[in-house]
Structure 1
Amino acid sequence: MSDQSVQLLGAYLKDCRARLDPASFGFSNARRRTPGLRREEVAQRANISPTWYTWLEQGRGGAPSSEVLNRIAQGLLMTEPEREHLFMLAFGHPPEVVYRAPAGVTPRLQRLLDTLTFSPAIVKTATWDVLAWNRAAAVVFTDYSLLPVEERNILRLMFCRAGVRERQDDWEAMARFVVGAFRADAIRAGAASEVSKLADELCLRSPEFATFWRDNDVRVHGEGTKRIHHPTQGVIALEFSGFAVDGRPDLGMIIYNPVTAEDVQRVRALVG
């Protein structure tokens, strides 16, 4: 690390520490000269030497290891962008991607989905588990709340549920696209072990998936059009766009907009 990098790293750690409320970590606010956690409290949370952490903030602690930086980031409750910036300051490159399956979405993100009254929308993980959805998605695609959690996976639905297959206007083309886009998303998120487990399962359950998976095709799930054959409303054409969730690189949001006024009316009839 250059002298400038060392100084910038120390200043960044100090700023992050100063923004934290000691009471929220169970520390007393009494007799504090400056805002935020004390250095020894950060060291305690990161399970490192208080002296060494102090030197690190002062720019004389030497280059920390990736493991130590990760412990400090966890101790300071850094967001993923903040942790990435920490590693850029220390090493000049972002941290190694380690996939962690998310537990859910924030209430704010769910409220955003719910505002899209006639546009089906979902939030999916890097392994394409559907984590959140709005009412339009439930009535147009499938009611995910009625499925076991492990079955709320786009690939399992696409390849293992007859009803989902029958609703696709061109199932084979859509299935190939889904496999290629899934491969790209999961690899980018560093979810190799999770991908391997899911792929092995689906290869056993679906000969078509096994064939498409062997093709090693990679797609970008940016935008496109799909047509759904709904049992009561007929064909519904939807334009879809994929979006990254800010601060959550493990999540992606897909919004489906009805193409024509007639498609809007069909979705409206289903939403009620």
Structure 2
Amino acid sequence: MSEAERRQALSEFLRTCRARLSPADVGLPDSRRRRTPGLRREEVALLANIGIAWYVSLEQGRDVHPSREVLESIADALQLTTAERQHLLVLGGQHPITSFVTEDEIMNPILQMAIRALDPHPAFVMGRRLDILSWNRAAAAVLSYGQDVNSLPWNTVWSHFMDPCTREVYPDWETSAALMVAHLRTGRASFPNDPWFGDMIDKLREESSFFRLCWARYDVDRVDQVDGHKEMNHPILGYLEFDSVTLLVPMQPGMRMILYNASPATLSRLEHYLAVSSPEYLVQHDSD
């Protein structure tokens, strides 16, 4: 993401957030003569207690540099959630932005051992690009849908949109797909020097109409909904239930460990499946 692209992203985000609010939402008198939905620019500037020209410059993507206080005031005016507020600060240049590191993400051997020890509960590590970097046997069984894990493109956002199986596996496929888009958008803002994000977004825009729809919504608030109850209709294991939790990995920006805590019935199925399955089939190569 170049500086011009960052300013354009900030402009689009502000317009999207402004358009979803009505005057009544923010305690302003409603006017019936509105050509477009949402608040007017001057109303946002009034609520944020900043100059109209300054706010207009931000929405027009001009080369201005708002302070953190200004961005916080705009966030208050637009009633942004915590996730949206963080995204605004990143786009506005007032939040730590991680420079792209050319080296591969480094997996801590102790973390790998911990993940494998969590069997039969699925556990895996996801990188900044939403790749699955390390996993245990239960995660391989659940996330591969019975395919050879060593031949899979283990990028969750690409497979979620491009693998037809995912629509059948996840009852809430559209919700989880929108969550993937939110993570992709916030990742692009947090790692502006990594060209992978722009390339992946372009490919998905070309290949998936639903991705284009989700991308246009600018719904970054979903990144706060990563944990919680998950259901799957697995082609081999049948109906599965989990409660997921996500933990950040220190010293590895963008890397996180995800644990699927299986329900009793799901745990029983996983234990049986892992007992009769080939260990070599369900684990990554030692070089990974």
Q: Which bracket does the TM-score occupy, shorter chain normalised?
A: 0.5 to 0.7
Give ranges in structure 1 of 5+ residues lacking alignment: 1-92
TM-score by length of 2: 0.56
In the alignment, structure 1 residue 261 sits paired with structure 2 residue 257: no
In the alignment, structure 1 residue 181 sits paired with structure 2 residue 183: yes
Change (3 A) 1:96 1:215: closer
1:221-260, CA deviations, whole angstroms, 9 ceiling, x for partnerless residues? 54112111112322101111111101112311111111x3
Partner of 2:281: none
| Larger RCO of the pair (alpha carbons < 8 Å, separation 6+) | 2
Pairs within 5 Å for 1:190-269: 190=192, 193-218=195-220, 219-221=222-224, 222-258=226-262, 260-269=263-272
Q: How many residues were matched structurally?
A: 177
Separation in 2 of the partners of 1:183 and 1:95?
16
TM-score by length of 1: 0.59
Secondary structure of the 1:112 match is helix
> Which residue identity is paired with 2:248?
A
Q: CA-atom RMSD, angstroms?
A: 2.3
Pairs within 5 Å for 1:163-174: 163-174=165-176
Separation in 2 of the partners of 1:167 and 1:229?
5
Pairs within 5 Å for 1:119-134: 119-134=121-136
Identity of paired residues, percent?
27
Give ranges in structure 2 of 5+ residues lacking alignment: 1-93, 276-288
Separation in 1 of the partners of 2:149 and 2:157?
17
1:50-91, CA deviations, whole angstroms, 9 ceiling, x for partnerless residues? xxxxxxxxxxxxxxxxxxxxxxxxxxxxxxxxxxxxxxxxxx
Separation in 2 of the partners of 1:191 and 1:264?
42
Pairs within 5 Å for 1:11-90: none
1:130 Cα offset (Å): 1.2
Separation in 2 of the partners of 1:144 and 1:255?
21
> Which residue identity is paired with 1:134?
N
In the alignment, structure 1 residue 99 sits paired with structure 2 residue 100: yes
Within the candidate set 132, 135, 138, 2:137 is matched to 135
CA contact (8 A) 2:98 2:253 kept: no
| Greater gyration radius | 1
> Which residue identity is paired with 1:171?
W
Separation in 1 of the partners of 2:148 and 2:176?
20
Separation in 2 of the partners of 1:95 and 1:171?
32
Separation in 1 of the partners of 2:109 and 2:257?
15
Structure 1 stretch 139-148 or stretch 211-220: which is displaced more?
139-148
1:163 Cα offset (Å): 1.8
1:152 Cα offset (Å): 1.3
